[in-house]
Structure 1
Amino acid sequence: MHHRPALNLDFLSGGGEMGALMRAHDWTTSPLGQPEGWPQSLRTVVSLMLTSKFPMFVAWGPRLAFLYNDGYRPIFGAKHPHALGLPFREVWSEIWPDIEPLVTKALAGEATFHEDLHLVMERHGYPEDTWYTFSYSPVRDETGGIAGMFCACTETTGEVKLRAALRAEQDRLRELFQQAPGFMAMLSGRDHVFELANDAYLQLVGHRRDIIGKTVRDVLPEVAGQGFFELLDRVYTSGEPFVGRNLRVGLQRRPGSPVEDRFVDLVYQPVTDRDGKVTGIFAEGYDVTERVQAEESVRESEARFRNLADNAPVMVWVTEVDGTCSYLSRTWYEFTGQSPETGLGFGWLDAVHPDDRGWSGEMFRTANARQEPFRLEYRLRRADGTYRWAIDAAAPRIGEDGTFLGYVGSVLDITERKEIEERLRASVAEFQTVTNAAPALVWVGAEDGRILYMNERWHEFTGQTTEEALGYGWASTMHPEDVERVLPYWQRCRETGEIYEGEARYRGRDGEYRWHAFRAMPHIGPEGAIAKWFGVSVDIHERKEWEEHRELLINELNHRVKNTLAIVQSMAAQSLRQLSEESRPKLQAFEDRLFALARAHDVLTRENWEGAELREIIDEVVEPYLRQKTRHLDIEGPRLRLIPRTALAIAMAIHELATNAAKYGALSVPSGCVHITWAVEPGEVPRLVLQWRERDGPRVTAPTRRGFGTRLIERSLAQDIGGDVRLTYAPTGVVCVMNVPLTETGGTAEHHSAY
């Protein structure tokens, strides 16, 4: 039997668990080979490493086989023990890119030292942040060459994390100190030197940002004489803290600016050492300027409210959350004769009429429970014992956080209003009685055209109910042909404010339509705009039927007159047909006069022979002369309505003048023009002044004798209607001025507006 020779492994003895592990380890697969073959230099380093309690490792040989001691085992974690003897690169493959440059330096003979180096290791199967303080040193063999490297290390992960946490906590505290809503400052020594000051303190004192290391007296000279320096001295000397509220301090917050009053809540807390000796003062507090000013504003607002309420024409009151009255204005006490002792709480109800006290108090309590606005009308006892009607209205008081605080309300004497309402109700009843007694249809409309009221005659005639007629329902009874005409007109009247009048057909309850004349006047409200419309519609059906019959008769008469004129024309033509050619113009002139008379009759017929517009009469007479585009007439004058006799006389006069102008005057040449103008001269008897003026025609010479046309003009105007005629034959053109009285026998001036 062969026995394995005993190995000289004394250098591994005394090495603790790692020494025993190395002695028992199978080194056949290790780059180092068996321990008995290790060079003395390696044995020496390993012996030194195994006997040390400090974490160490040796990396030896070309492949840097890894050897470590018991102190290094916790660093290895789960890699122990299988990593023993393996190459350094394999053992710490995850951190090799970080440490390879350090290893290279050691193998090149350069020792390195690193403090708290951060490495991400996988010691337990997952990456973890670690920190180490270590040194890498070259190890030489017997030949003097560098055969490996030696490392003594300490894991400082706990210390690094603790320091980081401490710094974070300090940073957090420092951030809290800086961002604290209240101001803070640390003062040291008897002279109160600034060691720390947060942003709130710097904001309070204003522009002084470089205060650290300076005394409060140097930093805040304007505070001298305000008692704060003396307070600091007393706290430092006595060791007793100081607490103050709403302290006024004058600060110069900007260079060159005046001293500004601020208000602070302040604490001076003495800081002591271990022996209890005061070494400084910690100052903290809040800038409460806005709060103080707000409180002052509230006090001023309350004073203004009370002054306003006490002098208001209405009675003002305030309640709390439970409904009890906490304030009544002076006007309440003056009106009711109550005092604060009798009126506050729920005592105010004693001034309410006994018949109204129960239900009004219950409505108030219900509204208070629901926290909603309310409005009451009840009788309130005056100081003289009489009862007056009053309106009591209130709205909830809501705090900034939305909570219900009670009510603020007002009471107003409305006795006069009640009396007016009663008179108004009586007036409305009287109005309805009067309108219902009227034989006409009476209605009241709103400014937008909606009907608000129809009298009983409307419902009796149309058969509509009140609900059917009001609003725009009344329009359904109007004849469809009249709807298209009347409703746009009604819209225009509402917009312009002009009187709404006209005629329309309404359907009766029997289905038959009857003509009505309507007229409505706008009622202007206090603000100058239309408030309502008051209208009346009168049945004119019989009158319309008579007018239609009269129109039929007039048309028949006009037809017969025209036939008569035609017979006269025919008789004249037959009687004068034997005339010579030289006499033919006389026949033509006669026929033209008949045609002019017929045209005037046409205008009067269209107007039912009640009268005619002057402009329309002139247009009809001169129309034949305007068919030639070379002839020009300028006609201008105000609207003027003439009675039939005056209209016919002027029509014949204009015809004679136009005929003469067409033969001899301005209308005989292309360049000629005739101006026809008129005006009304006011007076006891208004007169129409109508002027015919020719220009740019042939030169005019006075005739040697007066013709028939001239005599016709003078006779028809003078004898028929009492007018005057002045006919002038100026060389530049004929001028004819007619002066006609506008009386019942000569004409009526109904309109003087521009045509």
Structure 2
Amino acid sequence: MNENTIIADLERRLATAGEALHEKAQIEAALRQSEELRRIAIARLRESEAGNRLLIERGAQAVWEADANGVVVADSPSWRAYTGQTIEEWLGYGWLDAIHPDDRTYAKRQWQAAIAVQGFVDAEFRLRAPNGGWRWTNVRATPVLKGEGQVEKWVGLNFDIEARKRAEVVLRENEERQAFLLKLSDTLRPLGSAAQARTEACRLLGEQLSSSRAYYVEYEPTLGYGIVADDYLVPGLSSLAGRYPFDMFRSTYERISDGRTWVIRDIAADRELPEQERAFYAAQGVLAWIDVPLAKDGVLEAALCVVQTEPRDWTALDIVLVEETAERMWTAIQRARAETILQESEKRFAQFAASSSDGLWIREAATLAMEYVNPAIEAIYGVSTDAIVGDVQRWAGLIVPEDRPGALACLERARQGEAVVHEFRIQRPSDGTFRWIRSTDFPLHDAQGRIQRIGGIAHDQTEAKLATEHTAVLLAELQHRVRNIMAQISAITAHTGEQAKSVSDYASLMAGRLLALARVQALLTRAANAGASITSIVQDELSAQARHRGQYVLDGPDVILPPKAAEVLTLAVHELTTNALKYGALSASSGRVTVRWTTFERRGSSWLSLDWTEEGAPERVPPGPSAPRRSGFGTELIEGRIPYELKGRGELTIKPGGAHCHLEFPLLNKNSILETGAPQRATVFGGSLDMTGEADLSGLRVLVIEDDYYLATDAARGLRGAGAEVLGPSSTGEDVRAELTQQRPDAAVIDINLGDGPSFALAETLKDQGIPFVFITGYNQEIIPAKFNDIERLEKPVQLRQIVDAVAKLVDRTG
């Protein structure tokens, strides 16, 4: 080391000693003057070395010297006091023994390197403390050179840096802890389930502390057990996950119930733990732990446990880290649970909203913009959900102009905190129809009680409104039905009166025919619009009239007849049975009636074929040649009504042995006036009437449109009696249009209901063609459209003279 280096070193030392600064300045000035002064300065510096050492020793724990080779040859009381070494242990290289074994090689290498290059030493390592243990020291040493630049000796100092090192450790550990907690928070934040939060927290904590296990325990005190879950463990250990009875860890539960962390460093040294639990834990390899209780609303629910399979001296930082991890994990668990509850609630609401036939909606209160609608809104309003979400004008534009201000006013009332129920009409874009909407609007408050949104329920009550209006229609149908039945009874009464031989005969015939009507009505009302069994119809009639069961044979499949067919066939079978009882096979004990029927296909439709055959009937006395030929009620029914109303064929012949009847007709689904299902077709009441004195309709063609056989034929009879030519009668719209293509009538009589409910299509056709007409109906005036207000309506039951008079007015034949 040259002289300049020595001077620089001495200058550094003088800088640390405040009392020597003035002297240093004088020496520097002298050095600038001459070399001689420089030698003087060096001498004076050496002379003042003892004084400088005293100054330095005030901050150092040990001051020592070594010879030029780095060997300690002089005693250092401060070193011995600092390390506890004796003088013998200190001298030579014995000082190395006072250095921590892990640092000894490093210290020796630093010392030898400095000696080799005559350089400075500035190293840190651990030294033995007098009372045991180790303390961090900072050793600084420098060579002292002779004037010729040779090393005279080494001077060294030891500064105690234990406090700084501990502070650095704490700082480093805090930095590591904060980095870990940041990593933990980042890991837990996106997790959506409590189980995931527990698993990840246990894993990260176990890895951070290098613990044997880390797991989450959930307590169920009312059920008497605890559940170990999310068991992080090092390789080679078996999982402790599972359910454990409370008796195995009851004192543990009680120990942490006060909310304080429980730390066990060595289970064998803890005498407070019951022997039973100590044995249980030892058997599981749980010898040291940190248990942090997790409570909600003051109730212990769970614990985070870090476990070691051997005793462990947990540090304060370990405990703090576990507690802070537990806090963050518990927060994440509570958040995940809340989110799960919210998601389940939202899922339930979504299921409810998706299944609801009513429309559900939510608006933003400030702007009234639609934020949410359920799928039912599409069906109710006839628009896509996208078309109604957003600006309130989108929704308001669907409301009819007359109702729009009121609907918006109700929204405003809801925005002010009032629940409102109101109705309005919309026009549905999907089909152009008008619908009645019943809306319930109500405010939705936030946690502070402020109205942030408006909710609502939209119900399409069009059908309810129509049902209310339809009640009046049903009442009209009831009146119509009663009038129709009365009209049929009136027609039967008239026909029976024409054929009865006496009052008693009249009464008997009427009673039988009314009973037949009652039977078919009973059959048809068992189920609405369901028809009746042909077997029941035939057997009920024959069993009521035959003398014994052997008098009749039934053979055929049990076919369910449509209502109209059941009505007509019941009356036909009644007439055949009544005739057989008076004159035919049932009038003789040996007589027999055989009824066979079957079904077949014709022109794409199912038909019924029925044969009534009598055997053993008494011989009849043939009528004289002068006797008038009369068509009986039964004959007219079989050969006239069945072809007309059922579009089939009927034939009745009287042969030796009794009557033979053959019927066949399609099984068309036509309604009967006696059924109780859909509203019944209108019918016209009437009968035979002497038209003497009535208007003369000669030369006029009158079209009769009526679906009931009796009423149609009675009307035709009355018109013919007045001299008119009758076109038809026609029972269907198809028949009417076919008739109109053949010839043009001068007038028409039309029934509003031809079996499928009220219809005005034919009336419009007649009006378009300029053909005058009159309505014959059981409906009230209210059901007739306004454009037909000038058309005369004859209300059933109607007298035939009324029909004639109405037609005469149409063609100005009133005389």
Same fold? TM cut 0.5: no
TM-score norm. by structure 1 comes to 0.29
Question: Higher strand share goes to which structure?
Answer: 1
TM-score norm. by structure 2 comes to 0.27
